[in-house]
Amino acid sequence: MKKIFFFFVVAISISINAAANESEIRDWYQNYANHWLKANPDINQVAKFYASPFYYLSGEGPSVDSSETMRKALKEYANTWKQQGWVGSKLISLKVKKLNDSSAIILTEWDIYDKNGNSLIGCSKAPWTYLAAKTDEGWKFTLEIEQACDRRLSID
């Protein structure tokens, strides 16, 4: 009976620990997301969420960014959206799956909109997928995968 109880306690502890860590990652991502809710992100603060090197897989092919080139790319995103009338963004969904003690996959959907509520990127539920790693400085994005609106991934 003691062995069964011990196993039960250990199994519950592992489940609670995994859930707590996924909660920590969700909180970290939400902190990142808060920078994009209004059309005035502090790019230097946003860039701190990214590892260097950072890998980006787009429909046009892969790219690798350093801290410098990442800041430049983030500025270009924000400036392009502002020129298109960007007034805000909304994080619609956030799912996190811890892969091991130092990595997690993050699936999100965003709406990036103008003053009339129209999507600036042609998709009111734009999917973004990330791989994040736990570093000495905390969680960091290591990889982002660009996806078409109709090609959402899912995790259970």
More confident residue, 138 or 19: 138
Relative to beta strand 103-114, strand 138-146 is: unpaired
- % of the chain residues with pLDDT over 90: 71
- One-letter amino acid for residue 121 of the chain: I
In a domain, 152, yes or no: no
Enclosing H/E stretch for 12: helix 2-34
**For range 133-142, the mean pLDDT:** 96
Residue 69 is assigned to a structural domain of this protein: yes
Tell me, what's the pLDDT at 59? 83
Would 25 be classed as within a structural domain? yes
Q: What are phi and psi of 139, to 5 degrees?
A: -70, 145
Query: Alpha-carbon distance 58 to 93, whole Å?
Result: 21
What per-residue string of b and e applies to 97-117 under the rule 16 or more CB within 10 Å gives b? ebeeeebbbbbbbbbbbeeee
Query: Is 19 part of a structural domain of the chain?
Result: yes
**110 in any annotated domain:** yes
Assign 148 a pLDDT band (cuts: 50, 70, 90).
confident
Q: What is the pLDDT of residues 26-70, one digit of tens each?
A: 999 999 999 999 999 999 999 999 999 999 988 888 999 999 999
Answer whether residue 4 shows pLDDT above 70.
no
CA dihedral of 39, 121, 44, 100, whole degrees rounded to 10? 120
Average pLDDT of 18-29?
A: 83
The pLDDT of residue 155: 65
- Under a CB-based contact definition with an 8 Å cutoff, are residues 26 and 18 in contact? no
Domain total in the chain: 1
Strands 61-65 and 50-58: antiparallel
> Domain limits at 70?
2-146
Walk across the sheet containing 61-65 and list its strands: 61-65, 50-58, 138-146, 126-135, 103-114, 86-100
Answer yes or no: are the C-beta atoms of 148 and 128 closer than 8 Å.
Answer: no
Q: Once rounded to an integer, what is the mean pLDDT over residues 116-125?
A: 88
Is residue 153 one of the residues assigned to a domain?
Answer: no
Q: Is residue 151 part of a domain?
A: no
Indicate which CATH number applies to the domain containing 33: 3.10.450.50
154 falls within a domain: no
